[in-house]
Every structure is written in structure tokens, then in C-alpha cells.
Amino acid sequence: MLSSPKVQYPPLPLIQTWIWMMTQSSDADIQQKGQNNLIASFGSLAKANEYLLNHNLG
């Protein structure tokens, strides 16, 4: 019987760092890097937000 693999997300402190980069940094390159990392990990910013809300972190 095949079981679906559980999706592994980055550790919470790393996610929080990317969010900080995206929202608090005054450097546009850092903002973009934070956004790109979230999208690469979750597929979209909406899914990242949903993950945080589901874990009572948003």
C-alpha cells in the first residue's frame, strides 16, 4: 500500500525570517529574496499564509 509522503516545510524560524525580509527590509533585493523563498517552499504566498494561519502563527 502506498502512502502519500508528508510535505515537509522549512522550520518556523526560517519562515518568519523570510516574512521579515519581505515585509520589514528596506532593501528591494532582500524583499524579493524573502518572497521568492516563500513561494519556492510553499508554491504561493497564499499557501504560505494558509500554513501560518493553520498553525496559529498568522
Closest by alpha carbon to 48, among 24, 28, 26, 22? 22
Give me the pLDDT at residue 4, please.
52
Answer whether residue 7 is part of any domain: no
Average pLDDT (1-28) is 87
Q: Which residues form the domain of 43?
A: 12-54
If one counts the domains in the chain, the total is 1
In angstroms, the CA 58 to CA 39 distance is 16
Has residue 37 been placed in a domain? Answer: yes
Indicate whether 25 belongs to any domain: yes
Q: What is the pTM of this model?
A: 0.82
- Residue 2 pLDDT exceeds 60: no
b/e string for 17-43 if b means 16 or more Cβ within 10 A? ebbebbeeeeeeeeeeebbebbeebbe
Q: Residue 5 — pLDDT band, cuts 50, 70, 90?
A: low
The dihedral sign for the CA sequence 7, 39, 16, 55: negative
